[in-house]
A = this chain, B = another copy of it.
Amino acid sequence: MTARVLEHPPAEEIRLEEVLHALADPARLEIVRFLASSGREVPCSAIDLAVSKSTTTHHYRVLREAGVITQVYRGTAKLNGLRRADLDRLFPGLLDSVVNAVTAPRADTARASRPTP
């Protein structure tokens, strides 16, 4: 059918509050860290999140709509990449500080086991 094109906010419309909100979730932070460390575009399935498939889709959309990542269809997959250049220009140092931050072990213990489909 139609080429499935995904909406991305132009760099000028990326808002700090939205970026911070997007980064303020453990699953999304994990995605961003993975993308930052891998340095390339990866499909959603490359990152094993502890949530269901629909929730995963939701988190990627939040990141894309906040301007944190790009998403491009490629075959049945969808490649996700960090918008590092845009973010580094708009908010210098932010991405690095978030990615490099050493996170303390969470007091909250039992991690929900991933639902079995």
Contacts and interface: CB of A to CB of B under 8 A. Distances in A.
Interface of A: 8, 10-18, 20-21, 23-26, 29, 41, 67, 70, 81-86, 90-94, 96-98, 100-107, 109-110, 112-117
| Interface secondary structure of A, over-half rule | loop
Given A20-B24, A21-B24, A24-B21, A12 B104 contact: yes
Given A21-B21, A97-B97, A15 B104 contact: yes
A12 B98 contact: no
Contacts of A16: 29, 98, 101, 103
Contacts of A20: 20-21, 23-24, 29, 98
Contacts of A110: 10, 12
B24 A116 contact: no
A114 to B, nearest CB: 8
Given A24-B24, A117-B81, A97 B100 contact: no
